[in-house]
Amino acid sequence: MNNLVIEKLYIFSTTNKTAKIVKFTAGSNIVTSSQIDGNNKGKSVILKSIYHTLGADCKFDPKWDEKEKTYILKTTVDDKVIYFYRHDRLFKIMNENEEVIFQTITRTELAKYLENIFKFAVRLPNKEDNKLEIVPPAYNYILNYIDQDGMNCTNFSSFNNLTQYSHYKENVLYYHTGVFNEDYYQLIKNIEEINGKKDEKNKEKKILEGMFERINSNIGNKSYNTDLTSLNIEIDRYKNEYSGIINQLSNIKNKMINLKNEREDIELQIREISDTLKIKDKEIKKEKEEHICPLCNSQIDDDTEIMLKKYTEKDDLYIINNELSIQLIKINTELQKKEEQYKNLLKKLEEYEIKMKINSEETNDILKIKGLIGIKDNILKDIQDNNCEIASIEEKLKEYTNEKKEYDAQKKKINNKYYELMYLDKEKLDLKEITDKKIESISSAYNVSGSNRPIATIIWYMNLLKLKEIFNKNAIKFPLIIDSPQNGELDDTNKSAVLNYIFNNISKNQQLIVSVLGYDYNKNEMKADNVIYLDNKKYELLNSEDYQNNKEILQKFNSVENINI
């Protein structure tokens, strides 16, 4: 079964030379701190950082500068080790051999590459042209992360920037449960297109019938006339547009030349940084060798300050290289767009040349070829063909409608199961504010206030995951991450009930990561497989020791010689 497991999280601050390393297990993990003074220790930062690194936009506290930090995740997907890296908008992926195999600054490209890894990607129609596209990674994880400030019942409130797609909630839910897929959206598109064709053909039929009656009337009176003025005007318009295309081609070509020059400059700078890093490594190595005691082979520390300076210079070079990599990706993306525009304009140029030639040649001959009698016969034939096409369209529409009924039946099965699961939970937990009417469909909404809000939110997410496992069992299982589910107006009994519900309803083989305040393994009946206890000072999650002990992996991701794309 396709399964993503988080093994280790690295958070680095290259500015302050500090870091935090957290290890997870494949089972249940609890991140906790003291019940007395355990707030603001970094529990939420750790949980938010996981899906943030994987491409979602989590809602960090304003005091936490997420753009300055570098995040690395060591994961396994079906027991295969994969590393994920994020610094601001720069994403990288490293294979089990610790080689960088992918990098980008766009979430669209990241989502497409992640589909190869996860064998799963949510697709939704965009707002502009309703064209189906792979959406940013956050929609993949939308059922698997609940922020402490996102306990908003049946509204997805844990990630930013979700409303960029219209009616995304219903579409995403049915996509995760396996109903909506590429075939479904293609079917809907086919139905919309064929209904559009049917409307066009009916309009065309009225026009043809009107033309037929008009020509019959003209033939009866033996009077008709034809004017070529409009055809000549059309030829002149093609000529003007043709000149405009020539100018556009020239402008785009100049922009492409400038972009290529910029790219060459940046690539040269990256190569120079690579050479400088090699020189720094040799200097550090030489410095170390020159300060070894000849009697005992121990390190002589007289020049520690010089060594630290050289290491700092290396780190600064890696930061500069990161920024250059971002610029290089931007230029390559812009260059690719300009090249595509250039190709499209060339194609358009050829089309205009053909149109001008045909219209010019036929201007003087068209009236000689066509007469009213011939036109009448052609219209009559067009009316007959039109009727046949309408009949064919209606037959195809009936076929598509029957096919859609199968998807509607699957949606009904899912909604019936959803109602069953939600009804049992709301009755067991005495959630009277959730009426039966509000749980008839997975796209329906309910709202619960007060101390019942966290558990009412959690049962919705948990039951959606159950539906995904039942109806889309081959889809990847992402870790379920719940940030501080016991916060709010909960007494000790309700706090225990929330945690018990989570542990008792988590899917088999699915990783669980939960943050709670004051968790005691010995006293709590829910035994986590791994307890991560934070005892650092408030707002001081990162430390210099973790940075020094783990900076090698940061250097591997930043190394310009470690890219194997």
Three-class secondary structure of residue 305 per DSSP: helix
- Top mean pLDDT of 148-152, 174-178, 331-335 is at 174-178
- Listed in sequence order, the residues at least 6 apart from 461 whose beta carbon sits closer than 8 Å to its beta carbon are 143, 146, 480
- Listed in sequence order, the residues at least 6 apart from 441 whose beta carbon sits closer than 8 Å to its beta carbon are 415, 418
Beta bridge partners, 94, equal 83, 100
Give me the count of residues in the chain: 565
Three-class secondary structure of residue 169 per DSSP: helix
> Mean pLDDT, to the nearest integer, of 2-25?
96
Beta bridge partners, 81, equal 76
Q: Edge-to-edge strands of the sheet including 530-533? A: 145-146, 480-483, 512-517, 28-33, 530-533
* 90-94 vs 4-13, strand pairing mode: unpaired
Looking at residue 105, what DSSP letter applies?
A: S
Q: Is the pLDDT of residue 348 over 90?
A: no
Q: CA-CA distance, 276 to 63, in Å (whole number)?
A: 36
The more confidently predicted of residues 76 and 194 is 76
Q: CA-CA distance, 415 to 421, in Å (whole number)?
A: 10
pLDDT of residue 364: 47
Task: Express each pLDDT in 492-534 by its tens digit.
Answer: 666 778 888 999 999 888 999 999 998 888 877 788 999 999 9
Q: CA-CA distance, 325 to 336, in Å (whole number)?
A: 17
Q: CA-CA distance, 120 to 414, in Å (whole number)?
A: 20
Q: CA-CA distance, 409 to 179, in Å (whole number)?
A: 10
Q: How far is CA 341 from CA 218, 231, 253, in A?
A: 49, 30, 10
Q: Is the pLDDT of residue 274 over 90?
A: no
**Nearest one of 106, 352, 386, 87 to 238, comparing CA atoms:** 352
pLDDT of residue 463: 96
Residue whose tokens read 């005992």 = 296
> Mean pLDDT, to the nearest integer, of 164-173?
88
Looking at residue 445, what DSSP letter applies?
A: -
DSSP string for residues in 495-526? HHHHHHHHHHHSPTT--EEEEEES--TTT-SS
Q: Phi and psi (nearest 5°) for 563? A: -100, 125
> E strand or H helix at 209, and its extent?
helix 182-221
> Mean pLDDT, to the nearest integer, of 446-458?
89
Q: CA-CA distance, 463 to 467, in Å (whole number)?
A: 6
Q: Identify whether the C-beta of residue 3 lies closer than 8 Å to the C-beta of residue 510.
A: yes
pLDDT of residue 400: 85
pLDDT of residue 191: 85
DSSP string for residues in 316-380? HHHHHHHHHHHHHHHHHHHHHHHHHHHHHHHHHHHHHHHHHHHHHHHTTTHHHH--HHHHHHHHH
Q: Identify whether the C-beta of residue 318 lies closer than 8 Å to the C-beta of residue 12.
A: no
Q: Is the pLDDT of residue 76 over 50?
A: yes
> Mean pLDDT, to the nearest integer, of 89-115?
94
Looking at residue 451, what DSSP letter applies?
A: G
Residue whose tokens read 């709010």 = 488
Q: CA-CA distance, 148 to 60, in Å (whole number)?
A: 11
Q: Is the pLDDT of residue 226 over 50?
A: no
- Top mean pLDDT of 181-195, 227-241, 434-448 is at 434-448
Q: Where does residue 373 rank: exposed (0-12), middle (13-18), buried (19+ CB within 10 A)?
A: exposed
Mean pLDDT (the chain, rounded): 83
What is the percentage of the chain residues whose pLDDT exceeds 90? Answer: 42
Name the band, by pLDDT with cuts 50, 70 and 90, for residue 560: low
Other Cβ atoms within 10 Å of 532 Cβ, number: 20
Q: Where does residue 157 rank: exposed (0-12), middle (13-18), buried (19+ CB within 10 A)?
A: middle
**Rounded-to-10 torsion of CA 140, 142, 144, 149:** 150
Q: CA-CA distance, 388 to 392, in Å (whole number)?
A: 6
The more confidently predicted of residues 56 and 233 is 56
- Listed in sequence order, the residues at least 6 apart from 161 whose beta carbon sits closer than 8 Å to its beta carbon are 57, 136, 138
Q: What is the 3-state secondary structure (H, E, C) of 234-271?
A: HHHHHHHHHHHHHHHHHHHHHHHHHHHHHHHHHHHHHH
pLDDT of residue 224: 37
Q: Identify whether the C-beta of residue 76 lies closer than 8 Å to the C-beta of residue 511.
A: no
Q: CA-CA distance, 469 to 476, in Å (whole number)?
A: 9
Q: Phi and psi (nearest 5°) for 124? A: -135, 155
> Mean pLDDT, to the nearest integer, of 447-465?
91
Q: What is the CATH code for 4-174+475-558?
A: 3.40.50
- As given in the structure block, the two tokens for residue 435 are 């009426």
Q: Identify whether the C-beta of residue 554 lies closer than 8 Å to the C-beta of residue 70.
A: yes
**Nearest one of 425, 486, 480 to 456, comparing CA atoms:** 425
In angstroms and rounded to an integer, the radius of gyration of the C-alpha atoms of the chain is 33
Name the band, by pLDDT with cuts 50, 70 and 90, for residue 223: very low
pLDDT of residue 366: 43
